[in-house]
Each structure stands twice: as C-alpha cells, then as structure tokens.
Amino acid sequence: MKTPALSRRSLLKTAAAAGAAASVPTLASSAALEPAAETGHIRNFDMIEAFYREYPKKLAAVRGHLGRPLTLAEKILYTHLYHPEEMREFKRGADYVELRPDRAGTHDIGGPMAIIQFLSSGKDRIALPAAIVCDHLVMANAGAIPDLKVADKSNYETYDFLARAAKRYGFDFWPAGAGICHQVFLENYNFPGGMMLVTDSHTPTAGGLGMLAIGVGGADLVDGLMGMEWELKMPKLIGVKLTGRLQGWASPKDVILKLTGILSTKGGTNAIIEFFGEGTESLSATGKATICNMGAETGATTSIFPFDAAMERYLVSTGRQAVVDLARGVAKDLKADPEVVADPAKYYDRVVEIDLSTLEPHINGPFSPDAAMPISTVAAKAKEKGFPQKLEVALIGSCTNSSYEDITRAASVAKEMIDKGIEVKTPIMVVPGSVRIFQTLERDGLLDVFRKLNATVLATACGPCIGQWHRTTGDMTRPNSIIESFNRNFAGRNDGSTKTNAFLASPEIVMAMAAEGDITFNPLAGTLRSRTGQNVKLAEPKGEELPKQGFVKEVAGCVLPTYEKIDMAVSPTNERIQLLSPFKPWDGKDFVALPLLIKVKGKCTTDHISPGGKWLPYRGNIDRISDNLLERGINAFNGQAGKVWNAETKAYDTPAKVARYYKNHHVASVIVGDDNYGEGSSREHAAMEPRYLDVAVVLAKSLARIHESNLKKQGILALTFADPADYDKIREKDRISVLGLSEIAPNKTVVIELTHEDGSKERFEARHSYNAKQLAWWRAGSALNWVVAQEKAEQSGARKA
C-alpha cells in the first residue's frame, strides 16, 4: 500500500488526468436508479444493513411507549437509546438521555486529545466505526501542493501519532489533503436515520443526508469509542417550515444566514433544528448540508432534513445505491409523521417559517454569524456602522460551501466576468472540500475558470476558515474587510487579526463581490465596468446539482486499520503530543476564598478561550497549549484582552501566566463568564486548559451546550447565576467561595460568597445542571477518572467472583 503522502500527492499532481481516466458511477435520476447495488466499497455496510433491519422494530417499540406522532429527530433519538428497556417520555430541555451512536469521527486537532484520553481507558480497539481526517493543520499560503509539503513536514509528530493510533485501534485514516472531515464523511460515511458523533461543532453537516450528527468534545467521543453510554440533555425541537423555491441569486446558504439572524448565536442552544415542508424537496442534498453545517452557529445541538429524492441522487452519485435501497424500505419513517407536519406548533417547541421564493441573499457580519443583513440593506448598514468598504480577500469553499453545486454557481459568475472583460479587484482563494471534489472540478475545467482570474486554489483542508492562513494580502494591522463563504466570523478567527471584519455569504455572492471589491456593492442591482467601458449587470448564477459525468470514483488516500499492536509510546521531547496524567479528584471540601482569574465581558467563544491559528498544532500537548488560555477574553474591569489581576503578586499579567502562577503555588481559581459563555467550536481544550491550570469553577450568566458538557467531563464545576444581575456584584479583587458542596445534588443550588477587598461580604445563589452521574464525574476529578475507576471495580469484582 502506498504511504498516505504519496497516494495523496499523486492524486493532486495528476488530478486532471486521473479524473479523465477514472471510471465514474452513472448518475441516475430518481426515476431510474442503478438496479445493481454493490456493497464491497461501502465502509461498514454490515452495520448500516443491521441498522435498517432493526429500525422498524425499534421504532415500533417507541410508538408503543409514547403513543403519539413523532418528529424525525425524536424517531432517531429514541431508536438510539442505549437502554431501550428504560424508555419513557423524556422531558425536552431537562432530562438526560443515554444514547448509542452508530459512527464516530475526529480530526487532527480534536483527535490527538481524544485518542490520548482513549489510551487511558486501556481498551484494545474502538467499539464503533470511526474515522480520523487530517484537515485542520494545513497552513494555507502558496497553494495546494506546496502547502501540503510543508504540512507533512511540520506536522509529522501529530500525523504519525494519529496514523499509528488509527492502525492499531481501528480508525479509518485520511491523511492531510484528503479533504475536510465533514465533506469526507458526507461522501463516504453518512446515512439517513443514523447517529454520529464527531469532535467538531460543524458535524451537523450530515443532516443534509438525514443523519443526526452531533458535535462533541473528545471526552464525549471517548464514551462512544469505548462502547459506553453517551449522554445528552434531551433537546428541545425547533421546527423550520420551508415553502416555495429559491430564486435567482438566493441559495441554501441564505436560508441559514437568515435563520441564524432570527435565532441568534444562542437561540438554538440545547435544541435540534428540524426542517420540514415542501420547500425542503427543492434543495439539493449538499444544499441541505450547507444549512445544517451552519446551524451550529445558532448553538443548536444539530440540524436535520427529512429523507427525499435529492438525498437519493447524492448517495447514488457517490456510489451508495445499496444505502438508498435500504433507506427506501423505511422512507416513511425517515421524516416527521404527517400529523406533525400538519400541526407543527403542537409538536415543536418553536416554529419558524421561511418562504424560499421570496428569500433575499444575505451577507452576515462582521464579528458574529448572526449579524444578518439582506443584501439590499448592506450598503446603508456598512456606511452607518463604518465598516471598511474595501474587500481585501474573497474566499470561496470550506466545509460549508464546497459542493459541486456551490462551485459551479460561483464559476458561472466568474466565467461571465471573463467573457465580458470584467477585472476582479479582490484577490480570490478557492478551497475545495475534498480530493473527490478537487479532482471532479479539475476534470470538468472549473478550477481553471478561477485560475484565469488569478485565484489561488488551496489544499482540500480547513485553512483560512479555522485560522490556518498565512495571509499576505492587505494590511491586517488596521481595520479591514474580507468576504467568505465560510460559517464563522468571530474576531481574529480567520487570520488572527481582531481588526479584520469578516463577512459571510454564499460562494456566488462572494465571487460577485470580488469583482467590485466593495462591501457596499449589490450584484442584484448594481453594474460592473468592463475593460471596454461598458456597464455590465451580472446574470443570475447557474449551477449543477451533481456532475453530469458523475464524481471521480477512484479516489485513494484512506488507510484502513490493521489492528497491529503498534507501540504507542510518546517521546518526552515530542512538542505536539504528550500523554495525560489524571486530574485530581475533589477533596470533599467547599471552595473557599479562591481568587478571580478573569471576569469576562461580552462574547467569549471557544476561540477567545483557546484561540486557534498558531496554537492549533499543540492540541495534543495540554501543557503547551495552555499558554493561550483566554488570550482573547475581554477583562470586564479594564476592557482589555491579556491583562488580568494576580491576587498573589499584586500585578497584571496574561490569564495563562496568572493561572499557571496559581497552579504552581497550589491555588485554585474561578472564571466568571457573560452570556452564552463558550459558544462556537466544540474544542474541549477550552475546558481542559483551565482544568489543567487548576481553575475549579466557571460561573457564567449562561453556558453554551458543548462547552458546558466539556467542563463537566473535565471536572470543572460549571455554574450559572440564579439571577444574572449578580454578575455585576463581582469585583476584580474579590475572593470567591462556593459553599454547600458536600450537599450538592441535582436541581439544588449552591451558595456563592464574595469577600470584597474591604472585607465586606455578599452572598447569592448559583445553579447547575448536573445529574447524579455527572456529579460523580466531578467528585472523581473527571468523567474519564470515574469511568476507569468503574471498570477497575468491575474487573476486581469479576476476579473475586
């Protein structure tokens, strides 16, 4: 077998020739699908086959217990109960459910810490099908080939560790350059009705194929990898009814840009967004995937669409006719029951309706994905808010928008510019989502369209979207604007500069905006000047749902596991990977007079708590990456990042240095957060870093779902103010006590006591959402500590018996 690097490099260097020579599946219409359904190339087909065989029986049992019509999300959740014998009507937003996922996945920044934790379990192999995709650590700079060469060399320690773990424990391994994980999963692993866990917040992409896919932290993933119960607060349900059909410049991206504006970045917290209505059938599977991908920006647990003909077409085009055949057998139960669709307000906790026929293209930003602007309002808003008007970079692609349909629509705009002599004023970068997409686009001549406009085609990796971007265009030291078809635009996320105003839009809008190079341009109404002096109004973009010749079929790169007993030792000089020592258990005492590490003001995402960019390579080394703790968090007392009070030295320093000082002097500390603290990425390092540096408590007005789960898993006491106004009582030099911990119990508050610098005291209550099992994790020091202790106890009992 070729090494991952060689097989990938060969593919990228000879993409056009390989694409032309490859045998491709015949794209069939929904009326005439392939009669033969080969399964040998479909990974874990036996698991998929068993799923569809058992699904009707499991669903019948669910109906027998609940005795009411069901939404699609409920069908999938209840049929995945780990203990079906304990089935009952779980209260949404309150009860915890224990689930058994079908698949798992991770990548090269979530994977190292997840696998390090898995190694602590002592298991010989993973308990469910899973894949590792190396997509985050490729630094975007000069283009695909040179950037991948640099990545292979600079990330060797990480890639080697992941490849060894994959081969030994049972993961499919996709090397750098194979694609972005969500696109790889969509093309190879996702299936309607299934459940998947991945260490990435944009995992819900799989909802475009009717799969319930949820972003989690590494410790949550380890539950699934060990074959244990995976716990989730029973989500509330937001039903989104789609009517009509998209027109002109409007795209699936605009559906979620509008919806994010309606719900905000916290409106979907602890909820599943379920789409229904006749409008869903007019969207392609990849269009649906775009919508579900960015549903994460509302804080939603996940998003999902009902199974339909568009999903069938995509599955067939990616060689999974056999999956279509199985899904068709249960098709009526891969969507909400008719009664739900007829009276949605009765079955969903909230209903939103969007008319696709009247939907206007949107541009969202800057600095928050919910800052929604219909394109007709952007010019006025930009002038009102003083946004830098010049667009310095235009980025097309990413895991959100790199489908064949996306790129063909953007390419149709680009081709018109070429044909009519319109010069592009903004540099363009294109990020294909996978090698399959890259080769198919190359074969069909679409990447050459962008190259004619001097676009840089980047590697099939996350790149600028995750902050892995060596930006050389424009001046990042001053306020500047960029536009991108990505999913997240928090300050500093793309290029590391908090002065960059990033705007989100569809690929075709990004392409059109690049021509004028000004955020105030409206391609629906404005005109562009050609080289001959003519005023040209761009035609509406045209795209193809799927390639007429089918996708390139023979795509190499995935390395399958052999289960060899490979040595997993890690050198003490390894800068990227270091094994973990167990966190200390709770000592049974109240937390008394702890110093405040930081009181954060305003938005504090996981990008603020544990920034990406230059820090991403160290995700497998908790000591090294902890040096970035709360690097971008804004101190409520001085309005600055990187400057907090050290109660011991009586001086200001960075949060990481102050926390490390406390740790070295055996002092625990407290973080106080604002509203929706920890929103955004699923990165568990935003919980592991403070835990490693002996932060004992995170107290916030409210907590984002994944971050709260990560805090619980890692043994930090996660609390929220019973009265959010009590946030204002906390002063910079306070000592904070958490009292009554010996009696902490589910649904019981704890007491917070503040001792101010002048000796005066104040008390108020704080809430938590722990159940009995989660409190056991906390007392043990972490969920993993508790699991390992339980397994040892069981093994000891078995030996005595």
How far the first Cα of the chain sits from its last, in Å, is: 47
Interacting residues of 291 by C-beta distance below 8 A, sequence separation 6+: 207, 208, 252, 253, 255, 256, 259, 275, 283, 303, 305
Question: Amino acid identity of 99?
Answer: L
Per-residue CA distances from 760 to 590, 729, 735 (Å): 20, 12, 11
Residue 99 has phi, psi (to 5 degrees) of -120, 160
The angle subtended at Cα 606 by Cα 781 and Cα 352, nearest 5°, is 110
ω into 366 cis (within 30 of 0): yes
242: which strand partners? 354
Q: How many CB atoms lie within 10 A of CB 751?
A: 14
Contact 159, 542 (CB under 8 A): no
In sign, the C-alpha dihedral spanning 222, 160, 103, 687 is positive
CA neighbor of 467 nearest in space, from 441, 485, 488: 488
673, 699 Cβ separation under 8 angstroms: yes
Residues that are catalytic: 135-136, 200, 488, 681, 683
- Find the helix packing angle between 783-800 and 705-714, rounded to 10°: 50
Q: What is the DSSP letter of 570?
A: -
Collapsed DSSP state (helix, strand, coil) of residue 593: strand
Task: Give dist(CA 526, CA 249) in Å, integer.
Answer: 13
Instruction: State the Cα–Cα distance between residues 376 and 495, nearest whole angstrom.
Output: 28
Rg (CA), the chain: 26
Residues 766/719, Cβ–Cβ less than 8 Å: yes
Q: What whole-number distance in Å separates Cα of residue 157 and Cα of residue 618? A: 10
Which of 691, 617, 693 lies closest to 658, judged by CA?
Answer: 693
CB count within 10 Å of CB 1 equals 9
d(C-alpha 628, C-alpha 492), whole Å: 14
Cα–Cα distance measured from residue 708 to residue 769, given in angstroms and rounded to the nearest whole number:
9
Cα–Cα distance, 474 to 478 (Å, whole number)? 9
Nearest to 132 by CA among 117, 114, 146: 114
| DSSP line for 209-268 | GT-EEEE--HHHHHHHHTT--EEEE--EEEEEEEES---TT--HHHHHHHHHHHH-SSTT
What are residue 456's phi and psi, to 5 degrees?
Answer: -95, 120
Residue recorded with tokens 């508790």: 786
- With contact defined as beta carbons under 8 Å apart, do 162 and 173 qualify? yes
Structure tokens at 510: 């990004």
Give the CA distances from residue 684 to residues 36, 40, 200, 231, 781, in Å, rounded to whole numbers and listed in that order.
Answer: 44, 36, 10, 16, 16
DSSP run (H or E) holding 609: helix 606-609
Contact 58, 329 (CB under 8 A): no
Helices (runs of H) and strands (runs of E) counted in the chain: 27, 29
What span, in angstroms and rounded, lies between the C-alpha atoms of 105 and 558?
Answer: 14
Residue 390's DSSP bridge partners are 518
Task: Calculate ∠ Cα 104-107-113, nearest 5°.
Answer: 90
Alpha-carbon span 740 to 728, nearest angstrom: 23
DSSP 650-702: TEEE-HHHHHHHHHHTT--EEEEE-TTBT-S---THHHHHHHHTTEEEEEES-
